Structure 1
Amino acid sequence: MRFFVPCAKGLEYLLVDELQALGASRATAAVAGANADGEDELPYRVALWSRLASRALWPLAEFPCPDEQALYDGAARIDWSQHLGEEGTLAVDATVSGPGITHARFAALRVKDAIVDQCRQQTGQRPSVDTEDPDLRLNLSVRKGRATLSVDLAGPLHRRGWRQAQGEAPLKENLAAAVLLRGGWPAVAAEGGALMDPMCGSGTLLIEGALMAATWRRGLQRHGLARRRAGRASTARCGSACARTPGPAPMPAGLRCNRAISGATTMRRVIAAAQRNAESAGVAHAIDLQVTDLVHLSPPGPAQGLVVCNPPYDQRLAADPALYRQLGEALRHAVPDWSASILAGERELGFATGLRASKTYAMFNGALECALLVCPRVGGRDRADAPARPLGEGAQMVANRLRKNLRKLKAWRAREGVDCFRAYDADLPEYSAAVDVYTEAVEPRRVFLHVQEYAAPADIPEEDTRRRLGELVRACAEVFDVPRERIATKTRSRGKGGSKYGRFDQRGEFITVREGQALLRVNLFDYLDTGLFLDHRPLRARLAAESAGKHVLNLFAYTGAASVQAAVGGAASTTSVDLSATYLQWAGENLALNDCTGPSHRLVQADALRFVESDRGHYDLVFCDPPTFSNSARATTSMSSATMCAC
């Protein structure tokens, strides 16, 4: 007999393997599910044992469905007295696609009408609707002009029955099972390995992992429901099938799961929720839960194990890449020899961990597409040992252009001693981004890349822009031979209120670079701009050359790069004026890095125009580099273009 077993998108091939293990003679992946051939017992086995399926469906009828009248007539041809008692309750769930019927709730209502009308004609009574716990739950699927009406034997299968509390964004249990299976947890558990979730939330991954390791099958709390629905639903066709489907023994009260399973989070109330859920599932004794942060992460004991994690994420760029980088660093320090299965909001967030994934899978958490990264070893391998992964056609084009640009810039860089420069600026229209290179001034003189993606036109699909950015980053990584964690990626676009500027990460990682004779601190990850505008280098060089013995005023000083160049050029004094305390502190650190401190090098927090109106100082050189945009409510004006004037 042919069955369709639905699941979340991205789990189809795992579900095929599971169905074959449950006795399907044949199973093939479909969109958001699998088609399976098997005996009558197969839907009940799915209801009782499946960790991945969304529903267990017993098909009652399939018929042409070009419009709502055909749907009503098809449902009315079924003898509902064989499936629903006089006092029975029902519910109908529907999914529709195609031009004939476009509204799922309307389709469900028409099926319900057909059943109610038939029952009223036969018995004079109208069955009631119960959406929570009906005696008969039906599932309607309308695709390509055909309708399939099935009995839903157990309702949503991701509801295992143990969840007592949940966090702000709980992970469905069947998706958690997929994360564990992709990570190879059954094999790791069989070999005595450990399981750890350093950001465990309400404990879904840990609880599912503990039950999986204890070989407990999820159908325990669904077994009676499936039997009840089967008996009422189709005694003529499949009542005996339920009787032949063996039921599991009750879960032992003292379930023993001799595995080192641990979880952590920073909030006590979340740990308390995870503890309640673990107790409800009967595995609280098998899971060690702690309130701690990533900095203090430590392995639970065994030398081998699997890290599973579902870090926070939201829509594109709303998540915090710094948190992902911190996660990767903590795992490399605590469990370098373990494997990992990380469900991230998107590929770029996953890559921010710096972990080297051997496989990346697309999965859907509800309507949100996610990326599952499977890493065979958290610590990775030496680059020399890692097999080279060939670039795709688009990435290869970018790589070729980058190499061409580097050859053209080589002589100039050597002549001028330039370590920080722009290597690419939307040279290929499809790959619209700027790539800046920053080389540390001190050993080991690591190379960092700053990739700024220009916002794509609205008519370009986001999937294309995301793919192109990924290809560009891969090309950069190969050409410059740098790991992903040393590539900062950002998108320049106007946000709410017109803002272009703001803080992105909280990584707090500064590197020191050299420009001429000056040392400067830059931050590639935490802000839209890095603290050093590379295109202003010629003007700063002129300032250094003309500042000897002079008093220099730097308005809109930003991080003080111009003040530093004036100071190392021999300026008698510098005065740096900016409204931002953060940037002034940064400017002070840059001056101190070059031994330019003391009363000769003033830092003034003030609006530049008000300072000019009130200040009575005398200056030989005034450097003015106003921002083109400012969010500050304290700023009275904004000006564009950089100017230097002799006074």
Structure 2
Amino acid sequence: MQSDNATPLQWFFACPQFIEPLLADELSRCGAESVKIGHAGVQAWGDLRFGYYAMLWSRLASRATLQLAQGFGKNQAELQTLLHSIDWQQHLRPEGTLKVRFFGLNDDIRNTQFGAQWVKDQIGDQFRSQHGIRPSVSNTPDLVVVVNLHKGNASIGIELNQHSLHQRGYRDLDTHAPMRENLAAALLIRAGWPELVVSEAELVALIDPQCAAGTFLIEGALMALDIAPGLLRQHTVAERWLGHDAELWNTLYAEAQDRRVTGLTNAERFEFWGNDRDAAVMAARADWRSINLPAARWTQCSLTTMPAPTIADKALVISNLPFEINANIVTVKPHYDALSAWMASLPPGYRGALFAEAAAPISLTNLFYSKEYRFLNGETESKLYTFERLVQKEHPAIWISDDLANRITKNLRKLKSFIKQRDINAYRVYDMDIPEYAIAVDRYADWLHVQEYAPPKTIDDKVAEQRLQQALLTLPAALGVDPNKIVLKQRRQQKGKSQYEKQGRVEQALTVIEHGVLFKVNLTDYLDTGLFLDHRPIRYWLQQHSKNKKVLNLFCYTGTASVHAAIGGADRVDSVDMSATYLEWAKDNFSLNNLQHDPYRRYRFIQANVLEWLYDCDEYYDLIFLDPPTFSNSKRMQDTFDVQRDHVALIDDAMRVLSPDGTLIFSNNFRKFKLDTEVENKYAVQDYRKQSLPLDFERDPKIHGCWLIKH
């Protein structure tokens, strides 16, 4: 393991995905003899001096692994042979400590935790056979062993960084920052900051108008002032590794200290300015001072009150553009307007870069971006947009669509009397009436629920995204709603239970009214809201026909049809569904309508597999509402359910418990559904699709099918 070994050592330096080419260039500058780009990392060949130097100076790597052996590893026997080919006594004392990081699976090892334990035992056996003792396991070990399995091959190495290389030491590990330090460094490189640093300009500025934790500024200063990231960490290299060359490390460390001193003499050539509208800027300032960087400019104000910058010859303005996947375009546009207006007011020699989630509406800035680069921020798909010139478009995009606004106004005029007569405040106002605006808009009281249809493959993604943004900016004025009360969802063809599954957001529940009946809806937590608006007429039909009847609601969902039946005077209402969540929701809907007091158990809520429950049912009902899902593969069901394949058997089971003069309302929303002729031959069937379609859904007659079936 000597630094002057004629045979170069093999290393693997890990990094975030999409940074690999930048890391490969960096490692070559660090002295690698050769490099090979891999997935989320780079293989490099070089001596120990190279490895130490890279750990000290790399701004992009996350971890550094010295590869010890590579070969076959498709089973335990092959992996054992590879492990025993390594003389572990060259790397670890018998009484030392170790930790194993295990990645991948093979024919015998099907669990990474087991794999790590098994590797530890194999290494321990080698020590025990020669010394009678074995190393112990520790979370702060002398040595970290890394094993990777992939397609029958294995690589075994030791991790020589003592802590993750992205951690510089200027930030508390518990502090939340928008991005890791090595990602910020990669963004600065793509934005052209290193070129500005070495340019002939007398004064160069780095500015972040929304600096938050200040990561861009600190990483940019470390680059400009030639400060090695490894100088800031208390421990960089694994000093308890037996192959550690303390003299070599100390020499490289001292050289880095000398370069830092020299770099700081050039500090007057650079200006660093961080701004934010909240107190996070003070934390960034404290981190800056903790590593003794030269004085910088810190301000706390909104973008609209930003002071003028110092006139620098050249500057880079870089910032993390705020956006969340469920963000409301209407509420972020003022922020984007203010940022782009401020950037466009800067001197001609300034360039810019904005980093954001890939879904962020960058076109709202009305700035011409030169290039875009793909990155991952954690697990979030993101992009960096670079701007060679900070110039706004002479003819910015028109963000209010008169065509869309006029169509919505026309629809509302048509629905006005319909809404009033039926005493409703939850209804559809727009459903892709204009093909360019591929959305459905439903109003729930004073909220809007907007669903985006997947655009045709012939439509460019950027065009589709811009039209969606334009639509969202048009809706508040056209419908008189608060921009903060718009919920956007993307509609895709759903399979199984996904249309009912929780989406993992904060609950936004409100109460709406329909034919005088109150319902709880939730606009955010699920793909659907808890109220199928297109079923409104058939629910009202149930209310009108339920007096003194026994009513059964199968696949009851949130029990809205059951409530209508109860309001209509049903003697008994049974609601059956497999989901406890939706049965609780159904009970809430009963409570909203003062139906919770039920001393005679007229209203029952039954959690069961509907197919099994119906098969075993021995009661009779006068009205049955049967609205099954298109497809179901619930974990609580032994078999899958397909409405086209299984509807005849399902209807037969329902008809078996229907009283002689009763009515089965059969409905489903599978657009290609065809009622089997066997059903029409067995029973009296009335096609009720046209009557069951409300006025606000007449543009989409295939949204559901509905039949009244009698004996």
What TM-score, normalized to structure 1?
0.59
Aligned-residue RMSD, C-alpha: 4.6
Alignment of 1:143-542 (within 5 A): 143-154=150-161, 155-164=163-172, 167-190=175-198, 191=201, 192-221=203-232, 225-226=236-237, 228=239, 232-233=242-243, 247-250=254-257, 251-252=260-261, 255=264, 257-258=267-268, 259-268=270-279, 270-283=280-293, 285-303=294-312, 304-314=314-324, 316-317=325-326, 319-321=327-329, 324-336=332-344, 337=346, 338-382=350-394, 425=433, 433=439, 454-455=452-453, 471-474=460-463, 487-488=469-470, 528=486
Identify if the C-alpha distance between structure 1 residues 252 and 88 changes in structure 2 by more than 3 Å, giving closer, same or farther. farther
CA displacement, residues 197-222 of structure 1 (integer Å, 9 cap, x when unaligned) = 22222222211111111111212246
CA distance, structure 2, for counterparts of residue 299 and residue 110 of structure 1: 62
Count the aligned residue pairs: 449
The answer as to whether partners of 2:165 and 2:236 remain within 8 angstroms in 1 is no
CA distance, structure 2, for counterparts of residue 636 and residue 321 of structure 1: 36
The answer as to whether partners of 2:339 and 2:365 remain within 8 angstroms in 1 is no
Helix, strand or coil for the counterpart of 1:228? coil
The answer as to whether partners of 1:9 and 1:32 remain within 8 angstroms in 2 is yes
Identify if the C-alpha distance between structure 1 residues 632 and 352 changes in structure 2 by more than 3 Å, giving closer, same or farther. farther
Identify if the C-alpha distance between structure 1 residues 219 and 96 changes in structure 2 by more than 3 Å, giving closer, same or farther. same
Identify if the C-alpha distance between structure 1 residues 145 and 242 changes in structure 2 by more than 3 Å, giving closer, same or farther. farther
Percent identical pairs in the alignment equals: 30
Instruction: State whether structure 2 residue 42 is matched by structure 1 residue 34.
Output: yes
The answer as to whether partners of 2:449 and 2:487 remain within 8 angstroms in 1 is no
Q: Partner of 1:140 in structure 2?
A: 147
**Shift of residue 130 of structure 1?**
2.7
Gaps of 5+ in 2: 1-7, 398-402, 408-428, 442-447, 489-511, 513-587, 595-692, 698-711
Q: Partner of 1:127 in structure 2?
A: 135
CA distance, structure 2, for counterparts of residue 242 and residue 88 of structure 1: 22
CA distance, structure 1, for counterparts of residue 102 and residue 111 of structure 2: 9
CA distance, structure 2, for counterparts of residue 171 and residue 229 of structure 1: 31
The answer as to whether partners of 2:432 and 2:438 remain within 8 angstroms in 1 is no
CA distance, structure 2, for counterparts of residue 295 and residue 475 of structure 1: 30
Identify if the C-alpha distance between structure 1 residues 143 and 521 changes in structure 2 by more than 3 Å, giving closer, same or farther. closer
CA displacement, residues 223-250 of structure 1 (integer Å, 9 cap, x when unaligned) = 96427256x1377xxx998688675342
**Shift of residue 302 of structure 1?**
2.9
Q: Partner of 1:413 in structure 2?
A: none
Instruction: State whether structure 2 residue 19 is matched by structure 1 residue 21.
Output: no
**Shift of residue 424 of structure 1?**
6.5
Identify if the C-alpha distance between structure 1 residues 114 and 69 changes in structure 2 by more than 3 Å, giving closer, same or farther. same
Gaps of 5+ in 1: 387-404, 410-420, 436-449, 457-464, 478-483, 491-506, 512-519, 531-555, 557-630
The answer as to whether partners of 1:52 and 1:177 remain within 8 angstroms in 2 is yes
Helix, strand or coil for the counterpart of 1:369? strand
Helix, strand or coil for the counterpart of 2:237? helix
Identify if the C-alpha distance between structure 1 residues 146 and 280 changes in structure 2 by more than 3 Å, giving closer, same or farther. farther
CA distance, structure 1, for counterparts of residue 184 and residue 359 of structure 2: 18
**Shift of residue 174 of structure 1?**
0.4
**Shift of residue 267 of structure 1?**
2.8
CA distance, structure 1, for counterparts of residue 300 and residue 449 of structure 2: 36
Helix, strand or coil for the counterpart of 2:255? coil
Identify if the C-alpha distance between structure 1 residues 426 and 240 changes in structure 2 by more than 3 Å, giving closer, same or farther. farther
Helix, strand or coil for the counterpart of 2:220? helix
**Shift of residue 114 of structure 1?**
1.7
**Shift of residue 324 of structure 1?**
4.7
CA distance, structure 2, for counterparts of residue 36 and residue 248 of structure 1: 23
**Shift of residue 346 of structure 1?**
1.9
Helix, strand or coil for the counterpart of 1:226? coil
Helix, strand or coil for the counterpart of 2:63? coil
Identify if the C-alpha distance between structure 1 residues 328 and 136 changes in structure 2 by more than 3 Å, giving closer, same or farther. same
The answer as to whether partners of 1:90 and 1:138 remain within 8 angstroms in 2 is yes
Identify if the C-alpha distance between structure 1 residues 279 and 116 changes in structure 2 by more than 3 Å, giving closer, same or farther. farther
Helix, strand or coil for the counterpart of 2:239? helix
CA distance, structure 1, for counterparts of residue 353 and residue 105 of structure 2: 34
Q: Partner of 1:533 in structure 2?
A: none
What TM-score, normalized to structure 2?
0.54
Identify if the C-alpha distance between structure 1 residues 341 and 128 changes in structure 2 by more than 3 Å, giving closer, same or farther. farther
CA distance, structure 2, for counterparts of residue 293 and residue 55 of structure 1: 38
The code of the aligned residue for 1:454 comes to: E
CA distance, structure 2, for counterparts of residue 138 and residue 487 of structure 1: 50
Deviation larger for 239-248 or 270-279: 239-248
Q: Partner of 2:521 in structure 1?
A: none
**Shift of residue 125 of structure 1?**
2.6
The answer as to whether partners of 1:331 and 1:378 remain within 8 angstroms in 2 is no
The answer as to whether partners of 2:171 and 2:287 remain within 8 angstroms in 1 is yes
Identify if the C-alpha distance between structure 1 residues 156 and 529 changes in structure 2 by more than 3 Å, giving closer, same or farther. closer
Helix, strand or coil for the counterpart of 1:454? strand
Helix, strand or coil for the counterpart of 1:248? helix
The answer as to whether partners of 2:208 and 2:318 remain within 8 angstroms in 1 is yes
The answer as to whether partners of 2:19 and 2:60 remain within 8 angstroms in 1 is yes
The code of the aligned residue for 1:136 comes to: L
Q: 1:53 aligns with which of 61, 65, 68?
A: 61
The code of the aligned residue for 1:356 comes to: F
CA displacement, residues 104-133 of structure 1 (integer Å, 9 cap, x when unaligned) = 33322222222222223322333232323x
CA distance, structure 2, for counterparts of residue 529 and residue 93 of structure 1: 43
The code of the aligned residue for 1:114 comes to: Q
Helix, strand or coil for the counterpart of 1:373? strand
The answer as to whether partners of 1:137 and 1:151 remain within 8 angstroms in 2 is yes
The answer as to whether partners of 2:74 and 2:106 remain within 8 angstroms in 1 is no
CA displacement, residues 45-88 of structure 1 (integer Å, 9 cap, x when unaligned) = 22111111111121111121112443344223321111112442
